[in-house]
Structure 1
């Protein structure tokens, strides 16, 4: 990766993405990926649940509505929408023909009018943020992402994952002044360089750094992008998770069932006492 514009004596070396870490299984191409045909229907298993996939613009995408109604059915629409936006996941709306294909495949109900599609990688990230543990990716020691933003006059810095242990951690070292900032403060920090152009922030706020802070390398390798996405998913607010319902679970195992059982038993005892009291009075 390119070095910082104004290197200092204590600058952190940016590891080369090709030798930094090995790509994981998610970055490996799936068998037959090059032979995908437009509107080809497939199936992907996420957390043990089959999800219908459809090839759109040469890329396999999954039905977000089906994911929301199965894997994420215990979460509200607003929770899923806000988390998707925070993770930078953009839905691609399918055409009427593609929507009909999804209906016939059982992914969408007949009454549906539209459907957003996301990639398999994006679906894994979204589900992991709700159902899994957002552990930091395995990166080499002293590794740093070369990042930049274009808010105001813009700025460039080194995002150090080892220092990112909370949402307000000062983990970004400015390449110009060598000061450390938290991600949500760094997007408001800028330096006016001779070739810089002022850009009015697009509704920038302290919670939108994931949208404004980007890798400086315009064509990074997939494993570097995936690691950056995993880092951004950490401390993403509302880390509340709910366990998936177990198929075939006995109703008596549900806590509400025991509450109902106790309330019914109590009501029966009350009725018996009332019958005894009124019965004695009648005698």
Structure 2
């Protein structure tokens, strides 16, 4: 299909084509808008490690991307990647940088924060997802105000995530390389998050 549309990825609007029932996103736009602080060899390493394929745009698709100024007019080819694969590699790359800076939820800075933490723990329950190898966490009900609330603590690394980010977070890579995650969309986190 050469019908150009848009989708959300990491809070950015990305151009895509609907091919075979799944969105194929413009790889150049993802790299430019979402991953500008990463070197190409870092991105390539993740693609190789997790067997993430990319396809080349057809001439019609390439022309549409040029007409909408999504890519420069002098570009000769452009990669397309499925939305599920885009979420996979963005999760890996952005997660690694986020975790270097993120303050852990369990760090006790003041007595007041500790008391709040203790109160929150009383209204929590364990959750799990099986996307990209799966992950377990604790959902803090009092912290959930919207889908953008960081209210789930990963049981392994103890970092906090929004529900949408949590379903792309993982530590095990056993299943990750062997499975096709066709149609995955983290915006549907309610379908992936289980008690």
TM-score in terms of structure 2 length: 0.50
Pair 1:98–1:48, CA change in 2 (3 A): same
Cα offset for 1:81?
1.1
Give the aligned partner of residue 44 of structure 1: 7
Pair 1:222–1:68, CA change in 2 (3 A): closer
Give the aligned partner of residue 270 of structure 1: none
Residue of structure 1 aligned with 2:29, choices 55, 59, 66: 66
Cα offset for 1:58?
4.2
Pair 1:221–1:68, CA change in 2 (3 A): closer
Give the aligned partner of residue 128 of structure 2: 138
RMSD of equivalent CA atoms: 3.7
Q: Of Structure 1 and Structure 2, which has the larger fraction of its residues in strand? A: 2
Residue of structure 2 aligned with 1:83, choices 18, 22, 46: 46
Cα offset for 1:63?
0.6
**Deviation per CA, 1:198-227, whole angstroms, max 9, x where unpaired?**
xxxxxxxxxxx965xx36xxxx9969x99x
The alignment of Structure 1 onto Structure 2 pairs a total of residues equal to: 119
Runs of 4 or more above 6 Å deviation = 220-223
Pair 1:221–1:105, CA change in 2 (3 A): closer
TM-score in terms of structure 1 length: 0.36
Name structure 2 gaps, 5 residues minimum: 100-126, 135-155, 157-172, 186-195
Whether contact under 8 Å (2:84, 2:181) holds in the other structure is: no
Name structure 1 gaps, 5 residues minimum: 1-37, 145-164, 166-182, 185-208, 227-283
**Deviation per CA, 1:216-248, whole angstroms, max 9, x where unpaired?**
xxxx9969x99xxxxxxxxxxxxxxxxxxxxxx
Whether contact under 8 Å (2:84, 2:182) holds in the other structure is: no
